[in-house]
Amino acid sequence: MASDEIAVLISRIALQDRSAFIDFYRKTSPKLFGVCLRILKNSTDAEEALQDVYVRIWQRADQFAASDRPAMPWLVAIARNQAIDVIRARKPVADEIDAAYDIEDDAPSPEDRADASGQARRIDSCMEELEADRAEAVRGAYVEGLSYQELADRYAVPLNTMRTWLRRSLIRLRECLGR
């Protein structure tokens, strides 16, 4: 589905158009459900989070309509944030007690933090070895959660070309990180 078509539907939703909302839901729910499911790892929780996502979209459609941002990243951000909120709400009371007493059971050691920081620098360094558009495509796919089709549209390349870009970029990253 084209981002422009989604933006038009959101503009209609901002005007409280229920038929536009139904069409919008039908066209966007698989992707947004996937975002919720990927984070929550439970389909029941993901379905409940998705309901809240669409309530937020209905309530905030006018905010999006007044901006000139691309639609899908806005929608994915709402879904991701809602799923994270669900996870935060699940935390058991023991976590609150631990926090009150500053007890850190699984806090990473200084060595672990240094190792993670070094690994992040290595990944950034390897990403810089990729061509700029390839690196941005990798970030779009694996950080923003964009589909291959969305990336192909963004970079105006055929879908199979985008798949090749991502596959070759991941191979190059693996080789770089293996050094």
Question: Hey, what are 160's tokens?
Answer: 């199979």
Instruction: Indicate the class that CATH gives domain 3-90.
Output: mainly alpha
Structural domain spans, the chain: 3-90, 116-173
pLDDT above 70 covers what percent of the chain?
A: 83
Q: Which pLDDT value is given to residue 106? A: 59
- The third-level CATH classification (topology) of the domain covering 116-173 is Arc Repressor Mutant, subunit A (1.10.10)
The 10s digit of each residue's pLDDT in 35-92 is: 999 999 989 999 999 999 999 999 988 887 667 778 888 899 999 999 998 888 876 6
**Higher-pLDDT residue of 84, 114:** 84
At 68 the pLDDT is 74
In the numeric block, the tokens 């991701």 are attached to 80
Cβ atoms of 118 and 71 closer than 8 Å: no
**Mean pLDDT value of segment 140-157:** 87
The reported pTM is 0.50
Helix (H, G, I), strand (E, B) or coil at 53: helix
Kind plus residue range of the DSSP H or E element containing 134 = helix 132-142
Confidence (pLDDT) at 108: 65
Describe the crossing of helices 71-90 and 3-14 by its angle, rounded to 10 degrees: 70
Q: How confident is the model over 136-140, as a mean pLDDT? A: 88
More confident residue, 168 or 4: 168
